[in-house]
Amino acid sequence: MIRRHLLAAALLFALPVAAQDVPPPPPPPPTTVAIVMTTELGAITIALETQRAPITANYILKHVDEARLDGGAFYRAMKLVPDGSIGLVQGGIQDGRKLLPPVAHEPTTVTGLTHDEGAISLARGAPGTAQAQFFIILGNINGLDAKPDAAGDNQGYAVFGRVTEGMDIVRKIQATQVSATKGEGAMKGQMIETPIKIISVKRLIPLPPKPKPVVKPAARKPAPKRR
């Protein structure tokens, strides 16, 4: 009898883990957080790189959660080629009272991100001075990435996300009329005549999956009684 119990126990422990009632591991945390930027010309959906660029993405996310970006605007449209296929649009908070203190610089050499189509990045002066002023790339402008071997300020700009929907809206913003006189230095001739208002910026909360409809089996008709 004892031998039989020992054999049963040995067989139980020999079963593969999948055959036992072990709960599946929790899903990994999302690598991005989606936000929706609603402008006068339409909505732009952006995935913030909260894992690869946590310093910058969470800095912007704090502005989003506190509604600081609401009422901002896109005010710059740059075309590096005449058709606008390479260039950028720039926007952000215009009311300085809504700005949070500057964020530490997070270069592309650390994040592994790059300034290509749809990338969103922080504008800045010296490294460590960036606030909630950002630009969205059209085409490919890798020259804005960090270049450690270059002379001078070689830290580039901090990419913190990417447009996933709404690049058509970005192109509409870029195509907006610019002023021939507004702006200074390199920005002269790139300032939008009438800035495009940012109505709101909010987290995109995914909808829960719809429950599958329960299919009830068809009721069986009672068998006819036999006489």
Residue 15 confidence (pLDDT) above 50: no
Q: CA 95: distance to chain centroid?
A: 23
In a domain, residue 72? The reply is yes
Q: What percentage of the chain reaches a pLDDT higher than 70?
A: 78
Q: Name the residue range of residue 166's domain.
A: 33-142+154-203
Q: Which one has a higher pLDDT value, 208 or 38?
A: 38
* Contact (CB, 8 A) for 118 and 86: no
In a domain, residue 215? The reply is no
Each residue's pLDDT tens digit, 161-184:
999 999 999 999 999 999 999 988
Compute the radius of gyration of the chain from its Cα atoms. Answer: 27
**Mean pLDDT rounded to a whole number for the chain:** 87
In a domain, residue 26? The reply is no
In a domain, residue 220? The reply is no
Q: Which one has a higher pLDDT value, 211 or 196?
A: 196
Nearest to residue 105, comparing CAs of 135, 125, 91? 125
In a domain, residue 2? The reply is no
Each residue's pLDDT tens digit, 197-217:
999 999 998 655 666 776 666
In a domain, residue 37? The reply is yes
In a domain, residue 5? The reply is no
pLDDT of residue 10: 42
> How many domains are there within the chain?
1
3-state helix, strand, coil in the chain (%, to 5): 20, 25, 50
Q: Could you tell me where the DSSP H helices lie in 32-107?
A: 54-65
Nearest to residue 53, comparing CAs of 163, 161, 201, 202? 161
* Contact (CB, 8 A) for 48 and 32: yes
**CATH code for the domain of 63:** 2.40.100.10
* Contact (CB, 8 A) for 39 and 92: no
In a domain, residue 103? The reply is yes
